[in-house]
Amino acid sequence: MKVKDIMEPIKNWLTPEMTLRQAIGVMNRTKRGHGLAVNGIVVLDQGMNLVGIVSTKDILQVIIPSHMFFEEHHASIDWQELRQEKSRIAELTTVEEVMSDDVRVIAAEETLLRCADLLLTERIRRLPVVRSDGKVVGIVYLRDVYNALTKLLIDG
């Protein structure tokens, strides 16, 4: 089985110039095959070249203040003020500022075993899938690789 057999085709993407607010909107509207919103999305430049990837974790690290992780501070948080501040940050922060630009990719013709190895070795949860000319055509998720490989193992 090949990566192209289980990848999610690219339906939407971000651009480096988009605001974080716009990125959140695109990610919320972009659904995977199972109907849930994506938790990571590619960033493409004007020439449709891969320049980065943004995950829900990248966004949360910007919009959730670190002091919120300390329970004793929760009672003193002014939630309305915090919401306004984070909304302002989401309007002023660009995708380029939060994206990971060191992105591993995998060829559409590569095997699932190689894909699994790369995901595990690099400790990542998704890989953009590229065709022979380097253009992104899809994304493959750790969960989908797991599902496909365990199905082969169980079903033979």
> Which pLDDT band holds residue 83 (cuts at 50, 70, 90)?
confident
**Dihedral class, residue 5 (left if φ above 0, else alpha if ψ from -120 to 50, else beta):** alpha
Residue type, 109: E
pLDDT tens digit sequence for 28-41: 999 887 888 889 99
Q: Going from the N-terminus, what domains does the chain have, and what CATH number goes with each? A: 3-155 (3.10.580.10)
Name residue 107's beta-bridge partners.
130
Model pLDDT, residue 70: 53
Total-model pTM = 0.84
Give the whole-angstrom CA distance, residue 56 versus residue 89: 16
Q: Are 139 and 126 in contact (CB under 8 A)?
A: yes
Model pLDDT, residue 62: 85
The lowest-confidence range among 66-75, 79-88, 124-133 is 66-75
Model pLDDT, residue 155: 86
